[in-house]
Structure 1
C-alpha cells in the first residue's frame, strides 16, 4: 500500500464549503476547490490569516462540518462524520476538560467509556501523562493547573484514545510566548515518538516552520484554497536562529506581503 492510500493518510479533491446568499440565488464559498494529500505519519501545517477558512477545513476533516462538494478520504474511506480514527485538540483546553475530574480521570475518560479494565486504563494513562511531562500531577484538578499544563492534559487524553490522526486548531494560541515555545518543542517530540498524522492550524509563520514537514498556504477568504505548499527540509529539533530557518521564514513572509 502506498503512503497516499494508507489508513492514516488524508486525500482531499476539489473540496468546497458554501452557503446560500440572502436572496437564495447567490452562493458564497468559504473554501473552494481545495486539493491536498497529507501522507501517513506526516506533520502538515495549514498557515493563513484569520478568517481564511483554516478551521472550517479542519472541521470538515474532523467530520464536525459537512462539505458542500468534492471528496474527502481517510485512506480509502469517504469521510462524512466524526470517527475514532481522528481527534481534535482545540485552542481552549478549558472547554474540553471536565473540571470535576483529576488529570488522571480526564486522561482516562474515553478509556472508561470503552469499559476498559482499571489496571489497563492506569497503564495507558501513566504512559501518556509521562509523555506530556505531567508525572506527579495526576491527582490535580484543572483549576490547579496553568494554561500550558491544561493543554498537556488535553493532548494526553487525545493520545490515550490512540487516534491515527491528530487535528490541532491553533492549540497554543492562548498561551504566553515562553509556554508556547515549550509546548511546540514537546509536541514535536511527541509526534516523532508516536508517528501520528498531524494537521496543525496556525497563523504564525515561525510556529509553522518549527513544527511542519510541509506548510500549506491558504489564501484570504472568501473562496479560500491552498495556493502554495512549502517543504521544510530542516532537521528536528529546529533552531529559529539558524540561517536556513530565517531564509524560509523570509520566503513565506514575502508570499503574504504580496
Structure 2
C-alpha cells in the first residue's frame, strides 16, 4: 500500500467556488466551497454524476478556467519538470494532428521548445516504449485504434514531463475490453513515473480499479466534494474480490 499521507501536497484547494451567469443574469454556482488536498504522486479520483462539475473543477486546476473565489495552490514536485500540468482529453482525435505520425505527434511539444534533435529522439523513444507504442512509430492516427490513440496522447503529454496529469474521462469512448486494458496500462505508467494523477469519471468500477483516494461530488448546482474514501487495495485490483465489492457497495450507496 502506498502511504500517501506522508507525502507533501501537490495541490491545495480551499473554499473554491465557480459561478456562471444564466440567461436570466442570475448567478449560479457550479462549484461552491470546494476543499481538497492532493499529495505528490497520488492517484486521485473525482467521481460523480454527469453535470456535477467534475470537469469544471479539473479545468480550473488545469488553468483553462478561472475560479471565482477561494484558494488554489499548485506546488512543483521537481524543479526539473518542464511543465507543471498535462491534460488528457476524452477524445484523442480532437488533439492529435492527423497529418503527423505517432512519433511526430509525441515529438511535437519538444520540437516547439526547440529541444535538440538527438535529445528529442531519445525522449520520444522512451515514452513511446513506456506507452506501449513500439512498432507504431510511423503510423498515422487514422491507422491505429482508439486505445492506441489514447496511448499516443498520453505519451505526448508525458514527453513534456509534467508534475501532474489531469485526465477527463479519457477512456469513456473506448469499448469495454480496450478500456480495461488502458486502465491496467495507466496504473503501470503511473507507478513507473510517480506522477500525480487526477482522474475524472462517473464509473464506480473504474474509480475503484484506479484510485488511491476517491472524492465523491454532490449533484449540482453548488457542487462540492462531500465524501472521501481511501481505497486500501493492492494493485492490480480484481473486480471479483470480496474487498473490491465491499468498497463498491459503500461508494454505490451515495448514488442509490
| CA shift for structure 1 position 134 | 0.8
Q: Distance in 1 between matches of 2:223 and 2:156?
A: 32
Does 1:235 find its partner at 2:239? no
SS at structure 2 position matched to 1:61: helix
Partner of 2:32: 32
Does the aligned pair in 2 maintain the 1:147–1:175 contact within 8 Å? Answer: yes
> Could you say which residue in structure 2 is the equivalent of 1:42?
42
DSSP-derived class of the 1:50 partner: coil
Q: 1:79 maps to which residue? A: none
Map 1:59-74 to 2 at 5 A.
Answer: 59-74=59-74
Aligned-pair CA distance for 1:255: 1.5
User: Which residue in the other structure is 2:20 paired with?
Assistant: 19
Three-state SS of the structure 1 residue aligned to 2:83 is coil
Please name the residue that 2:128 is paired with: 129
**Residue 118 of structure 1: CA displacement?**
1.2
> Structure 2: how far apart are the matches of 1:4 and 1:171?
27
What SS does the corresponding residue of 1:12 show, helix, strand or coil?
Answer: strand
SS in 1 for 2:255: helix
- Scaled by the length of structure 2, the TM-score of the pair is 0.94
Cα distance in 2 for partners of 1:43, 1:35 equals 17
Q: Secondary structure at the match of 2:31?
A: strand
Q: How many residues align?
A: 246
Equivalents in 2 of 1:21, 1:131: separation in Å?
45
In the TM superposition, structure 1's runs of 4+ consecutive aligned residues that sit over 4 Å from their partners are: none
C-alpha contact (below 8 Å) 1:4/1:75 kept by paired residues: no
Show the 5 A alignment for 1:37-186: 37-75=37-75, 84-186=83-185
**Within 5 Å, which residues of 2 pair with 1:237-256?**
237-256=236-255
Separation (CA, whole Å) in 2 of partners of 1:126 and 1:4: 31
Q: What RMSD in Å do the two structures reach over aligned CA positions?
A: 1.3
Distance 1:62 1:122 in 2: 28
**CA offsets per residue over residues 1-46 of structure 1, 9 Å max, x none?**
x7344xxx0000011000234443x321001000000001000000
Report Cα offsets for 1:182-218 as digits up to 9, x if no partner: 0000000100000000000000000000000000000
For residues 74-95 of structure 1, what are the alpha-carbon distances to aligned partners after superposition, in whole Å with 9 as ceiling and x for unaligned? 128xxxxxx9200100000000
Distance 1:118 1:13, change over 3 A: same
SS of alignment partner, residue 255 of structure 1: coil
Task: Tell me if 1:3 matches 2:2.
Answer: no
Please tell me whether the aligned partners of residues 4 and 11 of structure 1 are also in contact (alpha carbons under 8 angstroms).
no
Partner of 2:3: none
Tell me the equivalent position of 2:209: 210
Normalised TM-score (structure 1) = 0.93
Gaps of 5+ in 1: 77-82
Distance 2:240 2:131 in 1: 26
